[in-house]
C-alpha cells in the first residue's frame, strides 16, 4: 500500500494500462492521508512532480 498526504488543491493521478486516468484532488479541509493499493501496471503520479 502506498500512503500519501495531500493538502488543499494537490492532486494524485492514477494512470491505467488502457490509457484511462483517474484524478483525486483534495478540495478543502487541510491535510488528508490516502492509502492506495493498485496492481503493478497502474502508475501513480503526484502532479506537483510532473509539472
pLDDT at site 16: 93
pLDDT at site 41: 92
Mean pLDDT (whole number) for 12-40: 90
Whole-structure pTM value: 0.73
Mean pLDDT (whole number) for 25-37: 88
Quick check: 47 and 12 in contact, CB under 8 A? yes
Of 19, 10, 3, 20, residue with least CA distance to 46 = 10
Spell out the domain ranges in the chain.
2-50
Convert 7-44 to b/e letters by CB count within 10 Å (16 or more is b). eeebebeeeeeeeeeeeeebeeeeeeeeeeeeeeeeee
Quick check: 12 and 48 in contact, CB under 8 A? no
Is the model's pLDDT at 14 over the cut of 90? yes
Mean pLDDT (whole number) for 23-42: 89
* Mean pLDDT computed over every residue of the chain: 89
pLDDT at site 3: 92
Amino acid at each position: 500500500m502506498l500512503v500519501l498526504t495531500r493538502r488543499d488543491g494537490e492532486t494524485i493521478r492514477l494512470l491505467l494500462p488502457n490509457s484511462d486516468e483517474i484524478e483525486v484532488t483534495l478540495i478543502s479541509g487541510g491535510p488528508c492521508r490516502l492509502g492506495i493499493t493498485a496492481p503493478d501496471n497502474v502508475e501513480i503520479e503526484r502532479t506537483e512532480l510532473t509539472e
